[in-house]
A and B are shown apart, each in its own frame.
Chain A
Amino acid sequence: MTASATDLQRHMVAWVMGASLFSILPHLTRMSPALSILLLLLIAWRLHAGFKPPHWSIRTALVIGLVILVFWLNGGIWGRLPGSQLLCTMLVLKSIELQRRRDALLIVSLGFFVMATWFLFDQSMLTFLYLVAGTWLGLTTMIVIQREQVLSSDVPRLFRQGAMLAAPAVPIAIALFFLFPRLSTPIWGIQGGELEGRTGLSDSMSPGDISSLFLDDSPAFRVRFDGPVPEMSERYWRGPVLWQFDGRRWSQIFYGGVNAREKPAVNDADLRYEVELEPHRQKWIYALDYPAVYPEEARLTLDYLLRTKHPVSSLKRYVIASDTDFVDNSANSRTLSLQALQLPAEVAPQARALAAQWEREAAQSHAPQSAEQHRAIVNAALAYFRNEPFYYRLEGLPTLQDPIDDFLFSSRTGYCEHYASAFTFLMRAAGVPARVVTGYQGGIDNGEYYLIRQSDAHAWAEVWLPGSGWMRVDPTSAVAPQRVITGSRSVIDAPGWLHAEWLVDLRNRVDVLRYWWNRNVVSFDAKSQSRLLQPLGIEYTSHTRLLLIMLVTTAVIGLALFLWLRRSELTRSNDPLQNAWRQLLRRLQRAGIDCRHSSAPGELLALAVPALETESAQQLRQLVQRYRQLRYARTLPGSQLQQASTRLQRALRRYRPRPQQRPTFNLQRIRT
């Protein structure tokens, strides 16, 4: 019976390890496989080894080894990725030397912390639900640690107790969430430029880059238009502009990153919209041509890309006004012209020959280097794509030796990136300055907003015409016009089940939920806070005032909660027999018998019997007799007692009191 508070029991080890595994599981999916397998093995070893922790020398070696491993895998320990990995490692190592209750409690609370750090990577609703479940498991584990023994039959009850700690906390936590004063600017800097998995478009394009995104249905960004909405075929969301070609890969150039010389005038802007960009961990944001109003932290480059100082690592919301009629660089600089004509040597001789032929043909009827000649070349290329047997398809793409020539003259099958790449090459070879633009095209109307998915990623070309500046030309539209008019999905036969109508519909619905979550929870900040309070007549003035409101609100909710908890505990106990008894009392009360919540069985009989019908009273007498025996004369052994109690509970709940008929006038007799 004597057990000190410090010792740990065997079953607790399993609970603690389970809870810590639950909390590091999301991190395991993100760290390098070597490290995550190692951590899993350590947990398995600890569980297998049972109660005895390994020798201290082994533990020390493990600590040093694993810290070095994390350092080596990440090239440092600063930043959220190595930081969180280090935390996970520490958690597992601490579980290895789990020996006392204090250790167990510490591990569980560290687990909460590790779970919270996962939100730095992902704040989606699903993650949130996962981590709330983790909190529940953690609290239940803490309860288990406090108990002397845990039978397997206790487990559901313990989870219920855990829920009874977490569930009443929800309303107060919500109130705190909305009212707790936020920082309008961070106190310490947010690390940028970390080596983390990036999603979406990158700053270069090789064959296969964009088509790999086609099956990725995750949202890239959402747009809410304020005013007119452009046609789908006009919705080209501009991303990185690629100038440099090495025969295979298109990439950005330094010069394209300098600030734009001319900026679209704010007054000319004809499209206004708000973009909610999912974190893509790149240093740019997307907009339609040509942004006149954009967020302060972004700058407009020479090729009209909005660049940001830091990678977008959390959900970003910004407002853009675009001027669609802006003329981009009508007089091209010499440097840029040269860059826009750059071609790698000894690549694609056939394509060069074809381009040279077009150039000659165009020169016959138009002045050399005139806008007309350039237009004729562009049209020749588009006609070539349209008339020759080109296919817009994703599957069965051959690996190409010479990406341009093999595509243009043998396979003739490809995705937008192949068309954009080949077209730009042909233009340059024909003397027309051209560049590749990557981004997204289209997006579906999802009710309140337009949803642009990763699968809407697209690549197109821009050519420079003297006098008119840079013009967008989408060679894909020559081959597969519906790609541009109705969206990426209409063109390619992806695996059927993936695009079944109902599934697509379901996914769009889920995205509406996600949008709501992002708007109201993930991007809730100091500004939203003041907006929230304004309709209540509270002008947001200072943190002090907000704190006061918060304290008052939580106190009110807390008091209500306290009263409710007391009431529910007093009226509903853990004893099912007691509950059944109280139900009986309530039934009798409803039948007009003046018994109390606390009436003793004898007292109850004295009150109830005279008021009930003979038979009903007899039944009640028997019930009370059984209740008394079970409750006060505990003579039965445990298992029988349990059975008898269950039977009596059932009988108590089944009982319906029938009050005695009061002598009333017989209506029928009066009538006759």
Chain B
Amino acid sequence: MALADSLRRHGWQQRFESFLQRRGPMQPPLVIGYRQVYILPTRFGITFGVLLFAMLFGALNYNNNAALFMSFLLATAAQISTFRSWRNLSGLHIERIGVQPVFAGEPALLQIHCREQQGLERPSMAFSSAGSKTEQRFSLRPWQSISCELAVATSQRGWLSLPRLTLATSYPLGLFRAWSYVQPDQPCLVYPAPAQQPPPLPAPTQSEQQRQRRLQSDNEFEGLRDYRFGDNLKAIAWKASARNRQLISRDEPPSSHSEHMLRLQDTGAAGVEQQLSILTSWVLLAERRQHHYGLDLPGLNIAPDNGPAHLHQCLRELALWQA
């Protein structure tokens, strides 16, 4: 990592990227190739090396053959540990990386699906993302599949292209750190951050359709149909049922909800981002209260409705809306 950072600082970004690209694809689905595992000693590895060198030098000076052999044994074991580290990552199957939309400022949770498919135990691996200190440690037993969650910080709305992830291990001895890069293939949708203290929802607007429906509902026989199992008790037209000696339901219960058209200018805030924030919290509020709501923004018009799909559509448009 340190190496990658310093290279980047010195304007070697381009070369570094093309170097990584030449080693093989990094986007899931991906089996980490043997050329895609990089390895360098850790700080402890360097300390250990110094210690071994001291041991070697002392043993040479005193012509102490047993100590000499021991330092050779340790040095070679350390060298062999690089093979084990490499083996820990190489051949790991990363099936996909999923991510759910989040509100700006909240961490996006990446779901990294990994599968062990070589019958090896792969202990002590960790995912981390560029520019973040947190890491997610995990281990895989032979043939195990796992879904690993990694948090990535978000700051502004819109499409967030996810940073390159680092999959690293210092198993088995902690002397060397082997790592490999994984590039998430899809961006993360970041909704605007909901305002902390939004103004109250604007007054409901009565649409033409609604007014008509109210008129219609006065008609006693309009929209009556046979009772269906599961109909709300309130929806049963008792009079009509009595008349027909069977249960009869009203087709659409008279709507008790109000309808809100949400507009930028109603928010009373100054900047566009604040306005969008207030709209976001309004949308969430309206959804929670089961109101029907729609958006009326320049170049964007969403008819009033509610439900998760509608909510998602509204938030998505708010996230991507450009003045």
Contacts and interface: CB of A to CB of B under 8 A. Distances in A.
A228 to B, nearest CB: 33
Instruction: Point out which of B124, B126, B134 has the most chain A C-beta atoms below 10 A from its C-beta.
Output: B124
Given A3-B137, A574-B120, A578-B142, 12 more contacts: A101-B174, A119-B64, A119-B66, A123-B66, A131-B70, A135-B74, A176-B72, A180-B68, A186-B63, A188-B61, A565-B83, A578-B119
Contact of B174 (A113, A145, A166, A169): A145
Interface of B: 44, 47-48, 51, 54-55, 58-77, 79-81, 83-84, 87, 118-121, 123-124, 126, 134-139, 142-143, 170-174
B94 to A, nearest CB: 18
B66 A176 contact: no
A520 to B, nearest CB: 9
Contacts of B77: 135, 139, 165-166, 169
A524 B59 contact: no
Contact of A173 (B73, B81, B134, B171): B73
B61 A146 contact: no
A170 interface: yes
Given A165-B84, A573-B142, A575-B142, A186 B72 contact: no
Interface stretch (A102-110, A449-457, A605-613): A102-110
A165 B170 contact: no
A521 interface: yes
Given A113-B55, A146-B170, A2 B136 contact: yes
A665 B281 CA distance: 89
A409 interface: no
Contacts of A146: 123-124, 170-174
A1 B136 contact: yes
A358 interface: no
Given A2-B137, A109-B51, A165-B84, A128 B172 contact: no
A169 B87 CA distance: 17
A333 interface: no
A173 B47 CA distance: 21
A195 interface: no
Contacts of A1: 136-138
Contact of A168 (B47, B80, B119): B80
Among all A-B residue pairs, the 4 with the closest Cβ atoms: A573-B119, A169-B76, A173-B72, A575-B142
B70 A143 contact: no
Contacts of A5: 126, 135, 137, 170
Interface of A: 1-5, 101-102, 105-106, 109-110, 112-113, 115-117, 119-120, 123, 127-128, 131-132, 135, 139, 142-143, 145-148, 161, 164-166, 168-170, 172-174, 176-177, 180, 182-183, 186-188, 190, 314, 521-525, 558, 561-562, 565, 569-570, 573-575, 578, 631
A99 to B, nearest CB: 15
Given A146-B174, A575-B143, A578-B119, A131 B66 contact: yes
Contacts of B172: 142-143, 146, 161, 165
Contacts of A177: 65, 68-69, 72
29 contacts: A1-B138, A2-B136, A5-B135, A116-B58, A119-B59, A119-B64, A119-B67, A135-B70, A135-B73, A146-B172, A147-B123, A148-B124, A165-B84, A168-B76, A173-B72, A173-B75, A174-B69, A177-B68, A180-B68, A182-B60, A182-B63, A186-B61, A186-B62, A314-B62, A523-B65, A525-B63, A565-B80, A578-B142, A631-B143
A107 to B, nearest CB: 12
A170 B76 CA distance: 8
A329 B135 CA distance: 85
A169 B80 contact: yes
A109 B83 contact: no
Contacts of A186: 61-63
A116 B70 contact: yes
A5 B174 CA distance: 10
B31 to A, nearest CB: 14
Nearest to B44: A105
B73 A166 contact: yes
A112 B173 contact: no
B135 A524 contact: no
Contacts of B84: 164-165
A82 B76 CA distance: 30
A575 B65 contact: no
A94 to B, nearest CB: 13
A358 B109 CA distance: 109
A169 B119 CA distance: 24
A522 B63 CA distance: 9
Nearest to A557: B76
B62 A569 contact: no
Instruction: Point out which of A1, A146, A573 has the most chain B C-beta atoms below 10 A from its C-beta.
Output: A146
A116 B142 contact: no
Given A139-B173, A165-B84, A112 B143 contact: no
Instruction: Point out which of A142, A187, A190, A631 has the most chain B C-beta atoms below 10 A from its C-beta.
Output: A142
A562 B120 CA distance: 17
Contact of A562 (B59, B83, B135, B170): B83
A191 to B, nearest CB: 10
Contacts of B71: 116
Contact of B62 (A101, A165, A190): A190
A142 B119 CA distance: 24
A574 B67 contact: no
B64 A123 contact: yes
Contacts of A113: 51, 54-55
Contacts of A143: 171-173
Nearest to A161: B172
A147 B124 contact: yes
Contacts of A168: 76, 80
A115 B79 CA distance: 20
A217 to B, nearest CB: 23
A125 B60 CA distance: 19
A558 B174 CA distance: 21
B73 A120 contact: no
A139 B79 CA distance: 13
Contacts of A127: 66
Contacts of A172: 72, 76, 79
Nearest to B64: A119
Contacts of A161: 172
A574 B124 contact: no
B172 to A, nearest CB: 5
B35 to A, nearest CB: 15
A143 B84 CA distance: 11
A574 B121 contact: yes
Contacts of B143: 575, 578, 631
Contacts of A147: 123-124, 139, 171
